[in-house]
Amino acid sequence: MKINGFFSAIILFSAVLLGGCKKELSTESGQPLQCSEWLIPGKNVPQWQNKNIDGIGPAQVLEIHDPTITPELIQSSIVLVYGNLGGYPAQIRQPGKIELMRLLVSYIRGNNPRTDVWSGMPVPGKMLILLTNPDNEYDPYGNAAGHEFRYFFVPKHNPGSVGKKPAEGTSNLLAKYTETDLRNMSYEQFIEAAGLKK
């Protein structure tokens, strides 16, 4: 019994290190809303890496290992990834502004205009946070402290049905909203609708 408790503690500790994924709001269908904590590069998740991503090309990548992200979860969920891009100066991006990614941030570097593109991409076993721009250069803002990310997997009623409410016929607090409704909500509205803590 002591060994089982030891392994349980290791698994719990690993889950916190790997992004703090937890399950919330059980539904009658058996699939709960799944979410991460706020993920901070170099603190509770690894640092950025420069990689080539299939179908995207060169990118600055934040790999968040999460064994609960399975092909079935990706297929059966609406995936929402939010960014708080606090690493940009206030004159480029409003401090504390949380938005659903894909996000475009435009600014001037030297005399050249640049647009950074931020997106989230789930793959089995991982959530990838990607930063790309036409120059494939990520300094000074891509690596800056202050960026945070959080993701949610909202259960769909029927993965093959476009426009269906996410969890129609279940006890999920989000069941009354369509995917479009969820994507049009602010982060604060989504958190309130889901009954979660900010």
CA distances from 160 to 42, 118, 166, 174 (A): 38, 27, 11, 18
133 neighbors 109 (Cβ within 8 angstroms): no
Per the listing, tokens 């202050």 go with 146
The residues pairing with 57 across neighbouring beta strands, listed in sequence order, are 53
- The one-letter amino acid code at 151 reads Y
Residue 35's alpha-carbon distances to 92, 137, 149, 156, in angstroms, are: 29, 30, 11, 15
Strand, helix or coil at 172? coil
Looking at residue 186, its pLDDT comes to: 97
Q: Where are the domains of the chain?
A: 2-51+64-100+143-194
Q: In this predicted structure, what is the pLDDT of residue 158?
A: 54
pLDDT of residue 10: 34
The closest of 81, 41, 36 to 182, measured between CA atoms, is 81
Separation between Cα atoms, residue 36 and residue 99, nearest integer Å: 16
80 residue type, one letter: L
pTM for the predicted model, two decimal places: 0.80
Per-residue DSSP letter, 74: H
**Measuring CA to CA, which residue among 185, 170, 158, 169 is closest to residue 80?**
185
Q: How do the pLDDT tens digits run along the chain, 198 residues long?
A: 444 443 333 333 333 333 333 544 433 344 678 999 999 999 999 999 999 999 899 999 999 999 999 999 999 899 999 999 999 999 999 999 999 999 999 999 888 899 999 999 999 999 999 999 988 888 889 889 999 999 999 988 654 455 555 544 444 678 778 899 999 999 999 999 988 877
